[in-house]
């Protein structure tokens, strides 16, 4: 290789490296803008939950509170730690303390009971169909599977009126049970299709050893298949939690003040004097935490759930 | 699907019924909570609801097709339906375009800390819809909202995003995009990552430029994913309710009243349960027509539904 061509080559390489570097810089810059759009509102919510009303009503707004007050959290989750005599002494929170929002501890409990109960029930009901679709080839299996999946396309409002009327006539409005029954319905298509995909990965030969020992299919399912698919069961349960933790329409129709879930509480922060933004932000931050945890645990399985049944 | 072969005539009746026994609990649940309510709603749709003490369901007067006739002449309902379709068209296409760009960027090898980016971008999905409506009401506020601070920083007058008909629908679209583009991004990102390297390199050797590679090599391989995202997102936009409820409550006027919200208002704030049922059925039929239309496009591909 001559000297001239070597330097030419080197120049071309450097040029290419510079171009790659420029392109990479542009790509990162675009990503930063995208991330700001998606993450900034959440940052804002987080900060508002620590601000005094004077701070969050200020214009131009302040990015960070002067001091990270836990007042809104205490008021929502542990109101007994607030000394009312101190409030009237001219703290920042007088206008906030005027709002009569009940502490949300019981509502978090409601959310856990209703979501937990419905996930357990949906798994108990749906796992059979998932196994059936995975292991048997029978007349109408394809149509049944498709029909189960298609129910997720239906807008919930379509059955809201009759379900409301049904629940009212059997006096299940205002109870946990009514809402649990409806949430099972929303989770079933996901349970069936996610669990089917996990069962498909388990070779049927494993169950045959149970049949040889004289066990039935149901025994094989409970003793062998489900323990093997346990990570899938956990993923499905978490995904179903993700689906129903945020449900609002039916929660608002079927619960009363004693059984209200978190999304219902979040829609109730309108007071005569306006909206309690700080306290609302604090409750929103807390309502976000379970789902954040689930998303971190699930990662890739979440995409599988969101597009359940769509891909072979 | 491995497992048992198709049962022949020799197989006992019990054995042949076995798969259906496994399907029974799920099918029964869906029958009780979807099929029965739908039939019930159909009956309700032919009645006029008078909420009076001691008046049972069957005592309420029949109105024949009255509710359906009213629905098709109710300009507010037709407007609300139009808004739903408009929202599907605008929001889903922006989400898809933005999702393609971001997912494509994230799949590139020279992007550092891609896991961190993904977590930050996904964070809106974790927020309950009703909370994101609340949050954006805070950001859009005309007096002290952060977005108006930005608007004023650029020397413009503050915009009343939620109080004017012109901007309110725009605000709903923004929140819809903010909440759901992350879903589009992760689904498409999985698609981009599954595209093998060899065909891309082969095209590069053949002298194709980057755009040609994207258009002719990558995109065809992703068509399945793109269609699925399109289908799922369109069906989900039809369900839009929580965001409107928390952000604008359908207002100002009727400007952000989408179909679901209109039905909700008719049925549960004006207690026209019969009329609400009729509207529900009309919506049900429209949604199923659209989804079968879309699935008809998707089905020949490598997808399962």
Q: How far is B166 from chain A (nearest CA, A)?
A: 22
Query: Looking at the predicted structure, is the pLDDT value of residue A312 above 80?
Result: no
Which is higher by pLDDT, A78 or A253? A253
pLDDT at A66: 80
Contact map slice: B 65-94 vs A, CB within 8 A: none
Terminal alpha carbon distance of chain B = 15
Q: Among A1-10, A142-151, B130-139, which stretch is predicted with the lowest mean pLDDT? A: A1-10
The answer to whether the Cβ–Cβ distance between B242 and A248 falls below 8 Å is yes
pLDDT at A85: 58
Query: Looking at the predicted structure, is the pLDDT value of residue A87 above 70?
Result: no
Which candidate from B26, B38, B239 shows the least CB-CB separation from A128?
A: B26
Mean pLDDT computed over B101-125: 82
pLDDT at B5: 53
The answer to whether the Cβ–Cβ distance between B283 and A248 falls below 8 Å is no
Boundaries of every domain in chain A: 3-48, 105-306
User: Tens of pLDDT along A203-230?
Assistant: 888 888 888 877 788 888 888 888 888 8
CB contacts, 8 Å: B231 with chain A: 310
A212-217 contacts at long range (C-beta below 8 A, 24 or more positions apart): A217/B18
Query: Looking at the predicted structure, is the pLDDT value of residue B4 above 70?
Result: no
The domain made up of A105-306 has a fold known as: MetI-like fold (1.10.3720)
Which is higher by pLDDT, A4 or B68? B68
The answer to whether the Cβ–Cβ distance between A61 and B40 falls below 8 Å is no
pLDDT at A86: 59
Mean pLDDT computed over B135-139: 90
pLDDT at B178: 94
What's the pLDDT band for B19 if we cut at 50, 70, 90?
A: confident
The answer to whether the Cβ–Cβ distance between B30 and A185 falls below 8 Å is yes
pLDDT at B215: 86
Ordered domains of chain B (ranges, CATH): 1-40 (no CATH), 75-298 (1.10.3720.10)
pLDDT at A226: 86
Q: Which of A24, A38, A241 to mutate to test the interface with B (most CBs of B within 10 A)?
A: A38
B157 close contact with A: CB closer than 8 A: no
- Is-contact B179 B124, C-beta < 8 A? yes
What's the pLDDT band for A1 if we cut at 50, 70, 90?
A: low
Tokens representing residue A48 in the block: 């508002």
Query: Looking at the predicted structure, is the pLDDT value of residue B57 above 80?
Result: no
H or E, element range at A271: strand A270-271
What's the pLDDT band for B6 if we cut at 50, 70, 90?
A: low
Q: How far is B156 from chain A (nearest CA, A)?
A: 14
pLDDT at B9: 59
Q: Percent of chain A having pLDDT more than 70?
A: 88
Q: Percent of chain B having pLDDT more than 70?
A: 91
Query: Looking at the predicted structure, is the pLDDT value of residue A91 above 80?
Result: no
Q: In the predicted model, what is the mean pLDDT of chain B?
A: 84
Query: Looking at the predicted structure, is the pLDDT value of residue B97 above 90?
Result: yes
A205 close contact with B: CB closer than 8 A: no
Query: Looking at the predicted structure, is the pLDDT value of residue A305 above 80?
Result: no
Q: Could you give the 3-state DSSP secondary structure of residue A158?
A: helix
Q: Which of A155, A299, A304 to mutate to test the interface with B (most CBs of B within 10 A)?
A: A155
pLDDT at B84: 92
A135 close contact with B: CB closer than 8 A: yes
The answer to whether the Cβ–Cβ distance between A61 and B267 falls below 8 Å is no
A289 CB neighbour count, 10 Å cutoff: 10
H or E, element range at A274: strand A274-275
pLDDT at A88: 46
Q: Among A291-300, B81-90, B230-239, which stretch is predicted with the lowest mean pLDDT? A: A291-300
pLDDT at A171: 85
Query: Looking at the predicted structure, is the pLDDT value of residue B304 above 50?
Result: no
Q: Which residue of B has its CA nearest to A189?
A: B26
A260-265 contacts at long range (C-beta below 8 A, 24 or more positions apart): A260/A107, A260/A110, A261/A107, A261/A110, A261/A111, A261/A114, A261/A115, A261/A179, A262/A104, A262/A107, A262/A108, A262/A110, A262/A111, A262/A287, A262/B128, A263/A287, A263/B128, A263/B129, A263/B130, A263/B131, A263/B242, A264/A107, A265/A104, A265/A107
Distance CA A62, CA A59 (A): 8
Which candidate from A23, A38, A312 shows the least CB-CB separation from B121?
A: A38
User: Tens of pLDDT along B242-295?
Assistant: 899 988 888 788 888 999 999 999 888 888 888 889 999 999 998 888 877 777
pLDDT at A310: 58
B31 CB neighbour count, 10 Å cutoff: 10
Query: Looking at the predicted structure, is the pLDDT value of residue A139 above 70?
Result: yes
Query: Looking at the predicted structure, is the pLDDT value of residue A152 above 70?
Result: yes
pLDDT at A94: 47
Tokens representing residue A280 in the block: 């609302």
Q: Among A301-305, B24-28, B68-72, B146-150, which stretch is predicted with the lowest mean pLDDT? A: A301-305
Distance CA A157, CA B95 (A): 24
CB contacts, 8 Å: A24 with chain B: 110-111
**Cβ-based neighbours of A254, under 8 Å, separated by 6 or more:** A163, A164, A167, A172, A173, A174, A178, A179, A182
- Is-contact A72 B153, C-beta < 8 A? no
Q: In the predicted model, what is the mean pLDDT of chain A?
A: 82
Q: Which residue of A has its CA nearest to B8?
A: A138
Q: Percent of chain B having pLDDT more than 90?
A: 23
What's the pLDDT band for B300 if we cut at 50, 70, 90?
A: very low
């Amino acid at each position: 290789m001559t000297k001239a061509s070597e330097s030419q080559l080197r120049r071309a390489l450097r040029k290419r490296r510079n171009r790659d570097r420029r392109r990479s810089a542009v790509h990162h810059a675009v990503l930063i803008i995208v991330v700001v759009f998606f993450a900034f509102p959440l940052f804002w919510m987080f900060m508002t939950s620590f601000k005094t009303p004077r701070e969050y009503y200020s214009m131009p707004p302040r990015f960070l509170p002067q001091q990270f007050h836990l007042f809104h959290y205490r008021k929502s989750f542990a109101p007994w730690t607030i000394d009312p005599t101190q409030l009237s002494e001219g703290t920042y929170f007088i206008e906030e303390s005027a709002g009569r929002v009940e502490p949300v501890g019981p509502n978090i409990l409601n959310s856990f009971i209703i979501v937990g109960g419905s996930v357990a029930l949906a798994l108990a009901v749906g796992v059979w169909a998932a196994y059936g679709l995975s292991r048997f080839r029978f007349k109408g299996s394809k149509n049944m599977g498709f029909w189960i999946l298609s129910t997720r396309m239906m807008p919930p409002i379509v059955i809201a009126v009759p379900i409301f009327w049904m629940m009212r006539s059997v006096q299940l409005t205002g109870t946990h049970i009514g809402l649990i029954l409806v949430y099972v319905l929303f989770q079933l298509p996901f349970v069936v299709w996610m669990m089917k995909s996990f069962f498909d990965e388990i070779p049927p030969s494993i169950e045959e050893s149970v049949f040889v020992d004289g066990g039935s299919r149901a025994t094989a399912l409970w003793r062998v298949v489900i323990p093997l698919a346990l990570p899938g069961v956990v993923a499905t349960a978490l995904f179903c939690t993700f689906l129903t933790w945020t449900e609002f329409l039916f929660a608002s129709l079927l619960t009363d003040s004693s059984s209200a879930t978190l999304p219902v509480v979040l829609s109730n922060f309108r007071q005569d004097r306006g909206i309690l933004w700080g306290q609302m932000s604090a409750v929103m931050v807390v309502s976000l935490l379970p789902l954040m945890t689930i998303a971190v645990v699930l990662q890739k399985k979440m995409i599988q759930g969101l597009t359940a049944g769509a891909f072979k | 699907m491995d497992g048992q072969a198709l049962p022949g005539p020799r197989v006992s009746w019990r054995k042949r019924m076995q798969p259906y026994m496994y399907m029974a609990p799920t099918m029964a649940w869906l029958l009780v909570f979807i099929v029965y309510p739908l039939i019930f709603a159909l009956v309700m749709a032919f009645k006029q609801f008078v909420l009076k003490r001691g008046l049972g369901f069957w005592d309420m007067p029949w109105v024949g097709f009255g509710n359906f006739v009213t629905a098709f002449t109710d300009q507010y309902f037709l407007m609300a339906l139009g808004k739903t379709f408009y929202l599907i068209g605008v929001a889903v296409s922006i989400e898809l375009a933005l999702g393609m760009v971001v997912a494509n960027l994230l799949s590139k090898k020279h992007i550092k800390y891609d896991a961190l980016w993904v977590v930050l971008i996904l964070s809106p999905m974790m927020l309950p819809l009703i909370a994101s409506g609340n949050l954006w009401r805070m950001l859009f506020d005309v007096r002290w909202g952060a977005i108006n601070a930005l608007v004023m920083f650029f020397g413009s007058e503050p915009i009343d995003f939620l109080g004017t008909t012109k901007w309110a629908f725009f605000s709903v679209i923004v929140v819809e995009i903010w909440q759901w583009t992350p879903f589009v991004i992760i689904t498409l990102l999985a698609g981009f990552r599954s595209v093998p390297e060899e065909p891309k390199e082969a095209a590069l050797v053949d002298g194709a430029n980057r755009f040609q590679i994207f258009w002719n090599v990558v995109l065809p391989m992703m068509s399945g994913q793109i269609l699925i995202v399109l289908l799922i997102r369109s069906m989900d936009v039809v369900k839009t309710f929580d965001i409107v409820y928390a952000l604008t409550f359908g207002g100002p006027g009727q400007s952000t009243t989408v179909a679901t919200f209109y039905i909700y208002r008719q049925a549960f704030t004006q207690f026209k349960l019969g009329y609400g049922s009729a509207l529900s059925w009309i919506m049900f039929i429209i949604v199923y027509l659209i989804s079968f239309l879309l699935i008809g496009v998707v089905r020949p591909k490598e997808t399962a539904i």
